Amino acid sequence: MPGKCPQCGSRIYLARTTIQTELIEIQNIPCTVCQECGHEQIAQLVQKKIDKLLERAAKGKLKTRMVVM
């Protein structure tokens, strides 16, 4: 998946990130980071999974406050 940064056109590399909200913490999320400007990008497919998790967390359907992807 690595290609170029949409912000500055520099090279990007694969990394992992964490998203934390009041309700839930999602760890080990695959993403790409630009080596120049640090722009973080999460793939659409992954973002959809995150959205689902956040949605379920908001409805109180998750038993855990921490999810590792």
Instruction: Identify which range of 13-21, 30-38, 41-49, 52-60 contacts Zn ion by CB under 5 A.
Output: 30-38
Between 38 and 48, name the residue whose CB sits nearer to Zn ion. 38
Whole-angstrom distance, CA of residue 58 vs CA of residue 54: 6
Between 14 and 37, name the residue whose CB sits nearer to Zn ion. 37
Residues 33-52 that bind Zn ion (CB under 5 A): 34, 36-37, 39
Establish if 31 lies at the interface with Zn ion (CB under 5 A).
Answer: no
Smallest CA-to-CA distance from 1 within 49, 51, 46, 68 is with: 46
Give the pairing of strands 40-41 and 66-68: unpaired
